[in-house]
Chain A
Amino acid sequence: MTDKTVSLPEERRHGNFIKNNLRNYGMLMSLVAIMLFFQVMTGGTLLQPLNLTNLVLQNSYIVIMALGMLLVIVTGHIDLSVGSVAGFVGAVAALLMVTYKVDYTLAFIICLAVGAAIGAAQGYWVAYFKIPSFIVTLAGMLVFKGLALAVLQGQSLGPFPPTFQKLSSGFIPELLPEAGTLHPTSMLIGAVLALGLVYAGAKGRSREQSHGIEVEPYAFFLGKSILLACAVLYFTYLIASHRGLPNVLVIMTALIALYGFVTRRTVIGRQIYAVGGNAKAASLSGIKTERLTFLTFVNMGVLAALAGLVFAARLNTATPKAGLGFELDVIAACFIGGASAYGGVGRVGGAVVGAMIMGVMNNGMSILGIGIDYQQVIKGLVLLGAVCIDVYNQRR
C-alpha cells in the first residue's frame, strides 16, 4: 500500500504538514502567546511558583468538567446544569461529612453516585425522549441550584474533615530529602513524565514507520519532542519549587490522559464522535445512538460531582453560591478548544487548552487589577474571536 502513496517533493510535504497541523496547534500557540503576554505585563508574576500553583488549583474543576462537557458537545448536545450540579453535590458532601459525620471515603463515593444519578436523569430525557438538551439542562440548572439552597438552608456549611480538604489543597507527600525549596519527588515525577511522553511518541512513530505509514518529518518530530519535554520539565520545576505537585493536578492529569485515550483509541469514543457527526448514519451502522447519548450525560454528571467536591474541598465550606456560572467557563473552554457546536468535532487536548486559556486570562487580568466588569467583556470577546477563527479555518 505504501508504493501507492503519492510521494510529494520534500518541501511540499513539509508545507502540507505545517498547514494541516496549524489548526491542531493553533490554540496551543494562542495559549503560549497569552501566557507570554501576561508574563510580561505582570512583570513575571504569572509564572511565579506560588501563582502557578494557585492557577492550577483555581482551574482544576473547570478542566475536570470540560472533559465531560467535550463529550456532551461532541454528541451534539449541551449541558447547562453542570455548575448547579457541582454546587449541589458540594452541599450534599457537606451535609454528609459535616452534619452527619459520614466517613469521607463513603461520602465521596455517595457524591459521585449522586452525580451519576443526576446525569442519568437528565440524559434519559435527552436521549430517549428527544427533548432538546438545552431545555432539559436549563431545567436541571434551576432545579439543582434550588436544591443546593434547600440542602444548605441558605447557610454555608463547613469545615470539612482535614483529609477531605487534602483533595484540593494537599500536595503529594515528599519521599526524598528536600533540596532547598525544590521538591525532588515532584521533580522526579515530572522528569519521568517528560521522558515517558517522548518515548511514547518515538515508539508510536517508529511503529507507524515500520508499517509504511507516512509520518511527520523527523525534524518536526525532534523539535516537537524537545519542546514538549522542556515545557513539562519547566512547568514541573516551577511547581516543584513551591510545595510540589498538588493532589488535584495528579487527578486532573490522570483524567486528561484517560479521556484522551478513550476519545482517540476506543470503540466507544469513536462511536460517540460518529453519533455527533451524523446520528442517522451512525444508527444505520448499528450504533446505539440513544444509549451513547445517555452515557455521555451520566459521565458528565459524575465529573460535575467530582468538580463540586474539589471546589468544596478548596473553599473548605459548601456555600449556596458554589458553582455559580461554572457552566459558562466550561462550555467556553470546549468551544475555544475547537469543539464544533454542530457536534462530531472536538478534542480533549483542545478543551484542556481552552480551559487553560480562560484560566490564564482570569488570573492574569486579576493580577493586572482589571475589574471583574471588563474581565467579562474581554473573555466574551476572546470566545467569539476563537470560534470565528475556527469557522474561518473550516471554510477555507
Chain B
Amino acid sequence: MTTPAAPSHGSDVPDAARAITRTLPTGWRVATVAVPAVFFAVLFVWPVGTIIATGLTEAGAGGDALDVLLAPTTRRVLWFSTWQAVLSTVLTLAVGLPGAWLVARVDVPGRTLFRAAVTVPFVLPTVVVASAFTGLLGSGSPVMAWIAGLFGLDAPPRLTQTLAAVLLAHVFFNVAVVVRTVGGRWSNLDPRLVRAARSLGASPWQAFRTVTLPLLRPAITAASAITFLFTFTSFGIVLILGAPGMATLEVAIYRATAQLLDLPQASTLALLQVVAVAAALLVNARLGRDRAGSSGITTAAHRGLQRPRGLQWAGVGATVLLMAVVIGLPIAVLVERSLATADGHSLAWYRALADTDSVLAVAPWEAVRTSLVFAVAAAAVATVVGGAAAVAITRRRRSTWGRAFDLLLMLPLGVSAVTVGFGFLITLDTPPLDLRASPILVPLAQALVAIPFVVRILVPALEAIDDRLRQAAAVLGASPTGTWRHVDLPILFRSATVAAGFAFAISLGEFGATVFIARATSPTIPVAIYRLLGQPGAINLGRAMAMSCILMVVTIVVVAAVDRLRVADLGAF
C-alpha cells in the first residue's frame, strides 16, 4: 500500500511490447521458438498426428471415416458439445467477473484466502465433485427442500441428471480460470484511469464499460477460450451429472479409443474435435483482438485496492454470496462428508487414512508427495516452455506464424487425453525416446495441459509493458538491471507466479492424462481417491472424502503461498 506509483502512460504504440525482446541475441531468439516448438512437436504433434493418421489409413477406413462424419449421432454430439460449452462459458464469465473484481480491487479481509480457495474446484476429481452436486441437487437435499418451501412446491425438485447440473458443475470447475486470469490483469490496471473518467462525469457503469472493460478484454478473451476448451471436452461431469446418453465429442472419442478400439472411428472423431477446437479458437481470437495494447497497465500492484464504501458494500456482499453458493456449498458438502460418521462428526476418516490397506495401496503422505513432485516438475516445465513460447509469440504477434503458433499451443486443451496417451504409446516407443513407462512422462503430459495457461497469462503481460517506462527509468539514471528489476520484473513476475500457480494446480488435480500413462510410481492423490471410490464400504467412501479434503488443503496452502510470495516480493520494489 505504501509503494509509490511508478509513472504510467497510456501508450498507443502497438508494438511496444516487442522492445522486451528486440535486443535478444539471435541464439536466444531462436531458443524461444525452438524450445516450445520441439516440445510440442515431440509430445503433441507427433503422437497425436500419428495416432490419427494410423486410424485414418487403416484398411477400409476411408469409407468408415466418411460414415462416421456423416452419422447423425456425430452431428448431434458435435452440436451438443458446442452449445453446452458456449453456455457454460457465458455463465462462468457471469459468475467469475464479480469474483475477479473482488480479488483485484477490493480491500476486504480474507482476500488472499479467497483467491486461493477459488482454485480448489480446479483440482478436485470429477467423481468427487459430481458426488457433491448429486447430494446438493438430489431430491433429498436440504437446499432443494428449501427451494421447494420458497416456491411452495409439493415436492423438492430434483436437478440431478439434467443440463442444469452439468452447467452448474462447469461453472464450479472453471470460475477460477476467470477469477485468476481476469483478476490478475485487473489488478495491474491503473485505477487512476477510472478515477479520471469518474471525475469527468462518467457514471460507475460508464467508466466500467468504456475504460475498464476494453482494458480487460485480452484477459476475458483468454479466460473464455480456456473455459470453452475445458467444457467443450468435458467428460466425467457430462457422464455423471447429465441425463443418461448425454455425450460430448470427448465421450465418443473415449469410447471409440479405450473401449471399442475402433481406431478409424476414434481418429475421425479426434480430427473433428481438433478442427472444431481450432475453429472456435480462431473465432475467439478474432473477437478478442487486443485493441487495448499496453495502455492502463501500472507496476504498482496495490494502488487499485480500496476499502469498499457505501454501495460498494452491496456489490461485495452480492459477490461473496454468489461465490459462497456456487463454490462454497459444494466444497462444504465434501468437508461435511469427510467428517460425518455414524456417531456424529469426527476426524475418524482422516485417522483411518493411516491404516494403509489394499484399497488405499499407499500411505496418504506418500500420495501427497507423489502429487507434489509431479506438480512441481510440471509447473517448472510449463513455466519455462510456456514462458519461452510467450516471448516468441509476443515478438510475432502480428504475423501469421505467430498466430498459428499461439493457436497450436492451445490445442492440447482441446484434444482428448486418451488420444494423447495412446499417441504416446505408438510414437515414444523406441530408444532413446522410449518414454512410455518413464516417470517423467506424467509431468511432461501435465505440462502440455498447463502451457496454454502460462502462455495466455504471460503474453498479455509481456505486451502490456510500455517501453517508455523503461526509457523513463533509464533517463532517471536507472541501470539496465535496475530498469529491468523495477519495470519488467514486477509485471512479469506477478503474471509468471499466477501462471506457475495455475500450472501447479492443474498438475495436482490432473487425472485424464495421468491415468492413460503407465506409472510405476505410487498413486497421486486423485488416483488414490478413485481407487477408494472404486470399492464398497463406509471406510472407503469416508477416506475418499478425507483424501479429497487433503487435496483441497494442499492446493490452498500451495496456491496461497505462491500468491503470498508474489506480494512479498513486490513489497520490495
The answer to whether A and B interact is no
- Chain B contact residues, CB within 8 Å of chain A: none
Which residues of A are in contact with B by a Cβ distance under 8 Å?
Answer: none
